[in-house]
Structure 1
Amino acid sequence: MIVYTSGTTGSPKGVMLSHRNMIAAAEGFIEVNDTKPSDNWLSYLPMAWVGDAAFSLGMALVGKLVVNCPESPESVQRDLRELGPHAMLAPPRIWENMLTSMQVKGGDASPMKRRVFEYFRSLAERCELKRTDGKPLGLGERLGLMAGELFVYGPVRDQLGLRNARWCYTGGAPLGPDTYRFFRSFGINLKQVYGATEASALIACQSNAEANPNTVGRPMPRIEIKIDGNGEVMLKGDNVFVGYFKQEEATRETLVDGGWLRTGDAGFFDKQGQLVIIDRAKDVGKLSDGSAFAPQFIENKLKFSPYIREAVAFGHARPMVVAMIAIDMQTVGTWAERKGLPYTSFMDLSRKPEVAGLIAEEIAKANATLPDVQQVKRFLLLNKELEADDAEMTRTRKVRRKFVAEKYAAVIEAFYNSKDQVEVTMDITFEDGRKSSITSDIAIEDIKRPQTVRQAA
């Protein structure tokens, strides 16, 4: 089987995976997870993504899962509720969209329902943090969770189609810790899985007892992992691919020293033996003062806001962190309608000073959870969404950083030259293949420094 990489750091490459590769990955996963024959599985993700192929093909063959296909892309959420699968895999964007949907529904509810939802949400998150720290729950908290299960948590799981799910995984890219804890606090057994196309999708995963937003778990059986001198994660096992299709030089650069796979990810093992992934090795950098700069960590904090769909942070070899923000059209549009703020398009909405003020408040909230040096100091609202058709994102919604940095080089320079606006030309690709461009002046906003800053955990 040939599966193409997403092309995060370059052009997509054809990864040749053998029958042995896929079966070995599935067998290792089943050994450490609660899978049962006849478990229902919804195959709703693109099969071009190796994550879906690993479960809908490999796991179905080895673990005898029952694979169900949705009627159409538009009916996935309805089919999910109707089927009630026993397990689920989704990339971070799906979980973020689910969270945004719940936050929007909560905001549109009556004042009484909103207060009830917020009370039990806050209680659940406090209890989840206690459980993570190994602290016991008080009698009042346990009783509160029982009431919350009846009024909030159970109905939410049912609406999401996860009422029967014994475990759910997020993979393909990092998921923000706030989003991760939100779902776990609502009784969804969400865990992290780490993999790569070249490793048949599966490398490490978390057990129920070791779920942690800051790690990706332990290596799966018969997979050997080491960290090289540059901090890059390397692995060896029967799940490692045969090679890249018609790219022998790239194969030799990736498979080294007798079969060790270079993942391109920077990471380390914590004291408990859990693998921690920091970021793509090429993306990890330092600010001009030598402070560490991990853009994905900052971006995930920003994307916890329901009003921010995408964020791209910059800061390597620079004096401060800045960010380009793409608003969430649906949630910001709903907010604008409630405020009586008219708009005609994404561009028009993103240029409203009131929207800039809203996003500034959301960034300030994210900054409050970050160390001072990693806080976003300036930002800009893009006048269009970042799109895979414009080569700014991969099809799995990962930012193509090198391309974005080159495309928006003028914006980055304006951030650091203290300019208050910059002329931006954006290319747009329509569904029929036609191309166009938009040129406009976009304001650059500064974030006011909060009075107190709480250090990130």
Structure 2
Amino acid sequence: MTMGDAPKPYDDTLPGLLLRRARAHGAKTALREKQWGVWQRFSWSDYLAAAAEFAGGLKKYGLGRGDIIILIGDNRPEWLFAELAIQALGGIALGLYQDAPAEEIAHIFQLSEARLVVAEDQEQVDKILGIRPELPHLAHIVYHDPKGLAGLDEPGLVSFEAVRELGRDQAGQFEAWTRELSPDDPCLIATTSGTTGRPKLALLSHKNLLAMAHNLGLVDAKRETDEFISFLPLAWMGEQMMAAASALLFGFTVNFPEDPDTVQENIREIGPHVIFSPPRVWENLAARVRVKIMETTPLKRFLYEKFLPIGIRYADARFAGRKPGLTLRLAYFLAWACLFRALKDRLGFSNVRSASTGGAALGPDAFRFFHAMGVNLKQIYGQTEIAGISCIHRDGAVDFTSVGQPIPDTELTIAADGEILSKSPSVFLGYYKNPEATAETLTDDGRLRSGDAGYFDEAGRLVVIDRVKDVMALEGGFKFSPQFMENKLKFSPYVKEAVVLGHGRGHLAAIVCIDAEIVGRWAESRGLTYTTYQDLAAKAEVYALVRDEIAGLNAALAPEMRVKRFALLFKELDADDGELTRTRKVRRAVVGQRYAGLIEALYADACTLHLRAEIKYQDGSVREMCGELRLEDVA
């Protein structure tokens, strides 16, 4: 498909595309879901029938144009059935993260005045029932997993299948409803990450979503024959970008894993052609391979240690734009036959053609690792407010510092203060019921203020530094990006989260959370016993491990950017505690307030600190943790 002859999708809608897919390829598999160990198949005709029937049921409930309907739960076909049904009636789908706390859910219900919610299972239904007295507009709670709900008698509680049955005689009206839609109609509300407070509700149109999918596809091709695994929350803009907009536009198959714990196994079974994950997923995969190599047979360990460096050299030559020499090509052929082919298959990446990561920077070591085995991994960049994507690396032009070049039909400029501004048909309609925030985010000529600081390198690629408001300065005036340093620290497989400090101080310090799984395996391989996360994080050997990792990072940085002191927190930073957003971005104000004593101690002469911290569970209960933290210098 070339830019000249490609159809512009801006004049279509998501339900309109579903109709066309079902007519042209009705028997082709659109969705799969693994249940009870068996992959269940849904054709495009099945997809259309489910959406049309559910839309008919919603219509009989009196729902239609302009109504907001909330969806919450794990990734299931019913989420997409409901979403397309809502949009066919001119309504707006609003997805919530399945682990969102009750207070946040109540706020969004009240703001949206939603009269119906599609809640996956007993857990989500119980959560909604617990706050129902605060939701005067809510009339219907629809569930699609009946386990544990059979005997529950609550007003308005009804199964997904019952709503379909109710609307079955109206399903034939789906095409007529769809004809009344405009590409400029709002169809989706996506919650922003909410790093500084409550999430805002970004309102997007059919045109926003399809323009993004179309333009991204021009530089990162998607095909009708592709397979995609949907395992990241459908409330996230990145997953909507793939599982809804791109799948409908290009016609590839979306697969839903059986369980969050079986994702890697299911990826291997399906062998996807397209995969998109945030950096932490890629980094965890690479780290787990390294851990398993430590536990494997001597022969496999020998092959890994012998051939991985060859793959890295081959990848580095490609990154530098050089054609690998004959000797290196022959060595890589042997490495492929002895190591990388089997490793790629083991990870389920044998068919991967389009692999991308976004949301934060991915470390050079992770890029090298995956490119060494032949996975063409690229960095992308964007925001919820631009339907997910504005930049991507091009094939053969992947580098470690930039996020690539703008996708077609997207214009990026840098404001006088360094902020990245975007203009494209994918820029959102505004924030729902928040005109003040909309006016702050959109310029008079319709450009999106990203809130990120950046610049273009000599090759015209965008380099993102940090959030404009988060750029900090040491007491001597040296400016630094805490996010840049945090990403550097998280390049270590042993570090799960980090918060870098230093604004107005004499040097940088860090609060670090270890990766319990990887550090735990490291400890076990050395005969170190432990009981809890707190016990593991307090061990001197683990402190020494992290200290060496930070020292290695410091060696490649300017003196002003080096982390001088650190502490290992006795708990993970958690979204339920308000320390992270649902997309795992640090809420600096919350961390600064909650750990004020620890921060002061890191800049004092103290070697230990007795710290108390509260842990909040999803059911609202609170438990207090306390313990001694060591405060260590980095040589």
TM-score (norm 2): 0.69
1:81·1:162 contact (CA, 8 Å) conserved in 2?
A: yes
Residues of 1 paired with 2:379 and 2:466: CA distance?
A: 15
Partner of 1:6: 193
Residues of 2 paired with 1:426 and 1:151: CA distance?
A: 50
Partner of 2:477: 290
- How far the C-alpha of 1:370 sits from its partner, in A, is 2.3
2:567·2:630 contact (CA, 8 Å) conserved in 1?
A: yes
Does residue 99 (structure 1) correspond to residue 291 (structure 2)? The answer is no
Does residue 301 (structure 1) correspond to residue 484 (structure 2)? The answer is no
Partner of 1:266: 453
Report the aligned-residue RMSD.
Answer: 1.5
Partner of 1:23: 210
Aligned pair partner of 1:252 in 412, 430, 439? 439
1:219·1:225 contact (CA, 8 Å) conserved in 2?
A: yes
> Could you give the per-residue CA deviations for residues 323-346 of structure 1, whole angstroms, max 9, x where no partner exists?
111111112222222322222111
1:256 alignment partner, SS class: coil
- How far the C-alpha of 1:371 sits from its partner, in A, is 2.4
4+ residue runs of structure 1 moved beyond 3 angstroms? none
Partner of 1:404: 591
2:522 alignment partner, SS class: helix
2:566 alignment partner, SS class: strand
Partner of 2:309: 122
Does residue 160 (structure 1) correspond to residue 379 (structure 2)? The answer is no
2:470 alignment partner, SS class: coil
Does residue 131 (structure 1) correspond to residue 318 (structure 2)? The answer is yes
Residues of 1 paired with 2:447 and 2:471: CA distance?
A: 22
How many residue pairs match? The answer is 448
CA spacing shift, 1:155–1:8, aligned 2, 3 Å = farther
Aligned pair partner of 1:51 in 238, 252, 258? 238
Residues of 2 paired with 1:180 and 1:387: CA distance?
A: 27
User: What is the identity, as a one-letter code, of the residue corresponding to 1:222?
Assistant: D
- How far the C-alpha of 1:246 sits from its partner, in A, is 1.0
Partner of 1:326: 513
Residues of 2 paired with 1:253 and 1:339: CA distance?
A: 54
- How far the C-alpha of 1:431 sits from its partner, in A, is 4.4
Does residue 172 (structure 1) correspond to residue 359 (structure 2)? The answer is yes
Residues of 1 paired with 2:306 and 2:479: CA distance?
A: 36
Partner of 2:423: 236
Partner of 1:451: none
- How far the C-alpha of 1:412 sits from its partner, in A, is 1.4
> Could you give the per-residue CA deviations for residues 131-174 of structure 1, whole angstroms, max 9, x where no partner exists?
22233423332222111111221222111111101120001222
> Could you give the per-residue CA deviations for residues 26-75 of structure 1, whole angstroms, max 9, x where no partner exists?
11111112221221111111100000001111111211121121122122
1:442 alignment partner, SS class: strand
User: What is the identity, as a one-letter code, of the residue corresponding to 1:353?
Assistant: A
**Structure index of larger Rg:** 2
Farther-moved stretch of structure 1 (131-140 vs 39-48): 131-140
Residues of 2 paired with 1:284 and 1:182: CA distance?
A: 30
- How far the C-alpha of 1:253 sits from its partner, in A, is 0.7
User: What is the identity, as a one-letter code, of the residue corresponding to 1:33?
Assistant: D
Does residue 72 (structure 1) correspond to residue 220 (structure 2)? The answer is no
Residues of 2 paired with 1:63 and 1:443: CA distance?
A: 54
Residues of 2 paired with 1:161 and 1:397: CA distance?
A: 25
Residues of 2 paired with 1:289 and 1:185: CA distance?
A: 42
Residues of 2 paired with 1:350 and 1:46: CA distance?
A: 29
User: What is the identity, as a one-letter code, of the residue corresponding to 1:342?
Assistant: T
User: What is the identity, as a one-letter code, of the residue corresponding to 2:617?
Assistant: F
Partner of 1:200: 387
Farther-moved stretch of structure 1 (424-433 vs 163-172): 424-433
Does residue 351 (structure 1) correspond to residue 538 (structure 2)? The answer is yes
Partner of 1:418: 605
Residues of 2 paired with 1:46 and 1:261: CA distance?
A: 25
Partner of 2:562: 375
2:574 alignment partner, SS class: coil
Residues of 1 paired with 2:291 and 2:618: CA distance?
A: 28
Partner of 2:578: 391
Partner of 2:112: none
Residues of 2 paired with 1:124 and 1:300: CA distance?
A: 24
1:224·1:235 contact (CA, 8 Å) conserved in 2?
A: yes
CA spacing shift, 1:119–1:289, aligned 2, 3 Å = farther
Residues of 2 paired with 1:67 and 1:54: CA distance?
A: 12
2:509 alignment partner, SS class: strand
- How far the C-alpha of 1:266 sits from its partner, in A, is 0.6
User: What is the identity, as a one-letter code, of the residue corresponding to 1:423?
Assistant: H
User: What is the identity, as a one-letter code, of the residue corresponding to 1:241?
Assistant: F
Partner of 1:213: 400
2:423 alignment partner, SS class: strand
1:125 alignment partner, SS class: helix
> Could you give the per-residue CA deviations for residues 225-246 of structure 1, whole angstroms, max 9, x where no partner exists?
1110110001112101111111
2:321·2:397 contact (CA, 8 Å) conserved in 1?
A: no
1:388·1:394 contact (CA, 8 Å) conserved in 2?
A: yes
Residues of 2 paired with 1:144 and 1:296: CA distance?
A: 38
Residues of 1 paired with 2:429 and 2:227: CA distance?
A: 31
Farther-moved stretch of structure 1 (63-72 vs 364-373): 364-373
Aligned pair partner of 1:36 in 212, 217, 223? 223
Aligned pair partner of 1:60 in 247, 272, 277? 247
1:93·1:397 contact (CA, 8 Å) conserved in 2?
A: no
Residues of 2 paired with 1:134 and 1:27: CA distance?
A: 28
> Could you give the per-residue CA deviations for residues 304-327 of structure 1, whole angstroms, max 9, x where no partner exists?
222222111112222111111111
Aligned pair partner of 2:552 in 337, 347, 365? 365
User: What is the identity, as a one-letter code, of the residue corresponding to 1:369?
Assistant: A
1:176·1:297 contact (CA, 8 Å) conserved in 2?
A: no
1:205·1:218 contact (CA, 8 Å) conserved in 2?
A: yes
Residues of 1 paired with 2:195 and 2:362: CA distance?
A: 17
2:611 alignment partner, SS class: strand
- How far the C-alpha of 1:10 sits from its partner, in A, is 2.6
1:178·1:301 contact (CA, 8 Å) conserved in 2?
A: no
Partner of 2:10: none
> Could you give the per-residue CA deviations for residues 106-141 of structure 1, whole angstroms, max 9, x where no partner exists?
121234432321232222222322222233423332
Higher relative contact order (CA 8 A, sep 6+): 1
TM-score (norm 1): 0.94
1:268 alignment partner, SS class: strand
> Could you give the per-residue CA deviations for residues 210-265 of structure 1, whole angstroms, max 9, x where no partner exists?
11121111111111111101100011121011111111111111112221111111
Where does the alignment leave 5 or more consecutive residues of structure 2 unmatched? Answer: 1-187
2:356·2:379 contact (CA, 8 Å) conserved in 1?
A: yes
Partner of 2:628: 441
Residues of 2 paired with 1:85 and 1:338: CA distance?
A: 33
Residues of 2 paired with 1:400 and 1:118: CA distance?
A: 40
Residues of 1 paired with 2:225 and 2:326: CA distance?
A: 38
Residues of 1 paired with 2:313 and 2:590: CA distance?
A: 40
Residues of 2 paired with 1:338 and 1:24: CA distance?
A: 50
Residues of 2 paired with 1:163 and 1:133: CA distance?
A: 25
- How far the C-alpha of 1:197 sits from its partner, in A, is 0.4
User: What is the identity, as a one-letter code, of the residue corresponding to 1:62?
Assistant: L
1:210 alignment partner, SS class: coil
Residues of 1 paired with 2:529 and 2:594: CA distance?
A: 31
Aligned pair partner of 2:372 in 162, 185, 189? 185
> Could you give the per-residue CA deviations for residues 423-449 of structure 1, whole angstroms, max 9, x where no partner exists?
32211123433111112221101111x
1:211 alignment partner, SS class: coil
Residues of 1 paired with 2:380 and 2:483: CA distance?
A: 17
